[in-house]
Amino acid sequence: MRIGMLVVVLVVLGFGLAQRPGWPKELVIAEVPVESAADYQARYRPFLDYLKERLGIPVRLFVATDYTAVQLAQQQGRVHVGFYGPASYVDAIKKVGAPIEAFAKEDSLSSGTVYHSLMISRKGSGIRTLEDARGKDFAFVDPKSTSGYKVPMAYFCLEAKIKPREYFRRVFFAGTHEAVILGVAGGTIPVGVTWDTGIRIAQEKGQIKGLSEFEVIWRSDPIPGSPWAYRKDLPVDLKIMLQRAFTTFHETPEGAQWLRARGLRRFAPATDRDYDSFRKVYDALERPECQL
């Protein structure tokens, strides 16, 4: 009995066993595209190397073309761990049927374990209010984006009482948060929605000077931090090690630097219950009157 318990402890702590029962030979993690995917692989290398060292197996990054691709890949078992916004996480469970569960979430430098959706225009454009934005082109991010579509759409429907396609001249999806931020900063997009952490990421990359370049027309109520979710059918010891690895990454010099470049302090522990409050917004958007 004592020997059996010792084996479990050794497995969980990452010592010994070369091939752990039920573990994949390679762990695949997927990133929801919040910015240009061109340099994702290079920028993710420190995190992938860290996870490989902690877990003892190869770790590969799957960079998806959109939110749906991550949901389907994890539902089909081709991805073990996925990064989501709250909306795409709930979507993956309710609409795609992905057997997943949140285990870690972002803790940002600017707003902690919550973040905000922002409606922005370029400073000096003359667009400072929602009324100023009437009749202008408007950019969402992606239909499955939390801060780039779901939350602002709920605001339009439940509070502002407007239909975007009737209120703005043209409504379109830019594809990524980065595309919205740089489009607004460069003047090619008059008004758009993004997330506050995305502004910080763009600033860290030297693409913009900061939030001072924009007029913030609207800021949402706090949104629970974006989750990392693993498949429920992963071995228990792997789940334990994954959460421990994610939530202690900030304690390493490389981890602290990598997280800061993403506008984050750390990855905090998370559970599925953390997203119950967001499910109310999600359910509101199922109403016919809240469709785009």
- Among 29-43, 92-106, 242-256, the least confident range: 29-43
Separation CA 241–CA 235 (nearest Å): 10
d(CA 187, CA 169): 16
- Please tell me the predicted confidence (pLDDT) of residue 280: 80
CATH architecture assignment, domain 114-223: 3-Layer(aba) Sandwich (3.40)
Could you tell me where the beta strands, DSSP code E, fall in the chain? Answer: 27-31, 59-63, 81-83, 100-108, 114-115, 117-122, 137-140, 170-173, 191-195, 214-219, 223-224, 227-231, 264-269
pLDDT score of 36: 60
Question: Please, which pLDDT band fits residue 284 given cuts at 50, 70 and 90?
Answer: confident
pTM passes above 0.85: no
Which pLDDT value is given to residue 257? 95
Classify the phi-psi angles of 109: left when phi > 0, otherwise alpha if psi is within -120 to 50, otherwise beta.
alpha
What distance lies between CA 83 and its chain's CA centroid?
A: 6
**Average pLDDT across the chain, whole number:** 90
Say how far apart CA 173 and CA 18 lie, in whole Å.
Answer: 46
Q: Which residue has the higher pLDDT, 289 or 150?
A: 150
- In the chain, ranges of CATH 3.40.190.10 domains: 23-112+225-284, 114-223
Q: 198-208 burial, b for 16+ CB within 10 Å, e for fewer? A: bbbbbbeeebb
pLDDT at 19: 64
DSSP 5: H
Nearest-angstrom CA–CA distance, 104 and 263: 16
What SS3 class is residue 90?
Answer: helix
Q: Count helices and strands (H / E) in the chain.
A: 12, 13
For 23-112+225-284, CATH gives: 3.40.190.10
Q: What would the pLDDT profile of 41-95 be if each residue is shown by its tens digit?
A: 788 999 999 999 999 999 999 988 888 899 999 999 999 999 998 888 998 999 9
